[in-house]
Amino acid sequence: MPPRLAVGWSRTLGRQCLILLGALALGLLVGHPWPALALAALCIVIWQQWRLRRLLLRLQARRHLPPARGTGAWNELDRLLHQSQDDTRSRKRRLVEMLRAYRAAAAALPDAVVVLDRNSQRVQWFNEASTRLLGLQYPADLEASVGDRLQPLPISHWLASGRHAEPLLDAPSPLDPAVRLSLKLIPYSENLWLLVARDVSKLMRLEQVRRDFVANVSHELRTPLTVIHGYLDMLDPEEQPDWAPILSEMRLQSQRMTQLVEDLLTLSRLEAQEATADEAVPMSSLLATLRREAEALSLGRHTVTVEQSDDADLWGSTKELHSAFSNLVANAVRYTPAGGHIDVGFRRDADGGAVLTVRDTGYGIPAAHLPRITERFYRVSTSRSRELGGTGLGLAIVKHVLQLHQARLEIESEVGRGSVFSCHFPPDRVHPNHESRQGAKRDQARPPASRAG
């Protein structure tokens, strides 16, 4: 027990003993010790009850009562209670201030922040930016169903994916389709989720300007390059032997520039596209073309094998898929030293999808480069890529083509041993190839709903 409390308690005890002793002495004087003692004890009990009542009243009081003065156990208890009430009050005040500050900060955010109940998908709270960006109105939209309120955004479908919902990177605002939003879901408790929407219209416009710029520059460069190429072809090195090495270098460089421009235009076209063609892609003839291309590029320096182990074709754009696969095959030839092996394979996946693999026994790619290898102009070795005629855009084209086909690219590589590039297609993109031979239309093979996305 703290000394102050011990002193208070012993004082109260001491006082009560004194009262009892005094009463006993008085009782002995008048000849009735026991009634005197009983009377004193009764007084003590009444006094204790009175203090207990005061304490209970203090506990219940809404007003701020002053602390008790004086000594003794009851006064100490009173003071302790007063102190604890004071502490609780100031803690509560601090919490309320903090809550106000958090709310003010959330309200001042330029992004829309909406608190949702995960189970009922109803709006619990939202900040001011939600009115500007999502059209939510206070207080009418509190407890409103977020799916109904934020139409035409695919919110209900998106929320159903739960914690693993991928952010929606470019969605139209329900108020104005010209305003583009990026939406993110943040689960922060078992039942409450945060929906954060950011206005990315400016970013999207800049991205569009960048895309248009690259496409326009590439387009403008095409004509002068064709002219230069044409004139270079007219010059015969045999007529001017001194100029022969310069002419051949100029031809090589103009071919490289033409290839670069063509790749940039392909990439711009793919970026601008939202969906791809939906035709049957005959895989056996495509694989035969890839083999011919690999052999023509290799000029007998590599062993090329092609294997189609399953009877399946793809749905998609033959032209785009050919461009993606031939980029992978060209890379395999380019980055594999003479004497190496290049294997191209196409087979069904365990999940009903299909996978096209291009395997080589070439230089390989260090693991540190793999995460960025599909970025445009990203090269492991710029000098080697240029020397071998690469533009630095091949894998970016592959990535975009696969995205348009809802497929993904997987790369495994080991330096000095080689690389495997696998293009995984979902089951929806695969069909038995006899249908394509009969000229089957995809619409007949599958209900339209299964092609969404």
Separation between Cα atoms, residue 150 and residue 156, nearest integer Å: 9
In angstroms, what is the minimal distance from the CB of 343 to ligand ADP? Answer: 12
Which segment (95-103, 117-125, 195-203, 329-337) binds ligand ADP by CB under 6 A? 329-337
Would strands 341-348 and 303-308 be described as parallel, antiparallel, or unpaired? parallel
Q: Per CB under 6 A, does 422 bind ligand ADP?
A: no
In angstroms, what is the minimal distance from the CB of 305 to ligand ADP? Answer: 16
The residue from 390, 399, 422, 433 that contacts ligand ADP (CB under 6 A) is 390
The residue from 173, 276, 391, 433 that contacts ligand ADP (CB under 6 A) is 391
Q: Looking only at residues 2 through 41 of this chain, which bind ligand ADP when binding is defined by CB under 6 A?
A: none
122, 145 Cβ separation under 8 angstroms: yes
Residue with tokens 């693991």: 367
Dig out the tokens for 203 from the structure. 């970013």
Q: Per CB under 6 A, does 340 bind ligand ADP?
A: no
In angstroms, what is the minimal distance from the CB of 416 to ligand ADP? Answer: 11
In angstroms, what is the minimal distance from the CB of 264 to ligand ADP? Answer: 12
**Cis geometry, peptide bond prior to residue 366 (ω within 30 degrees of 0):** no
The interaxial angle of helices 3-30 and 33-60, nearest 10 deg, is 150
Q: Looking only at residues 135 through 154 of this chain, which bind ligand ADP when binding is defined by CB under 6 A?
A: none
Which segment (63-71, 292-300, 389-397, 432-440) binds ligand ADP by CB under 6 A? 389-397
Instruction: Give Cα separations from 290 to 162, 285, 287, 369, 436 (angstroms).
Output: 42, 9, 5, 27, 20
Cα of 443 vs its chain's centroid, Å: 33
N-terminal to C-terminal alpha carbon distance within the chain: 72
Instruction: For residue 387, give the nearest of 338, 334, 328, 333 by alpha carbon.
Output: 334
Q: Per CB under 6 A, does 185 bind ligand ADP?
A: no
325, 291 Cβ separation under 8 angstroms: no
Dig out the tokens for 121 from the structure. 């998908």
In angstroms, what is the minimal distance from the CB of 120 to ligand ADP? Answer: 48
Q: Per CB under 6 A, does 260 bind ligand ADP?
A: no
In angstroms, what is the minimal distance from the CB of 328 to ligand ADP? Answer: 7
Dig out the tokens for 251 from the structure. 């031809």
In angstroms, what is the minimal distance from the CB of 193 to ligand ADP? Answer: 39
**Residue 125 vs 378, nearer CB to ligand ADP:** 378
**Residue 94 vs 384, nearer CB to ligand ADP:** 384
Contact letters for ligand ADP, residues 349-388 (x by CB under 6 A): -----------x-xxxx-------x-----xxx---x---
Q: Letter for the amino acid at 70? A: G
Q: Per CB under 6 A, does 266 bind ligand ADP?
A: no
Instruction: Give Cα separations from 435 to 341, 428, 438 (angstroms).
Output: 33, 15, 5
Dig out the tokens for 12 from the structure. 């109260």
- Which chain residues interact with ligand ADP by CB under 6 A? 327, 331-332, 335, 360, 362-365, 373, 379-381, 385, 390-396, 419
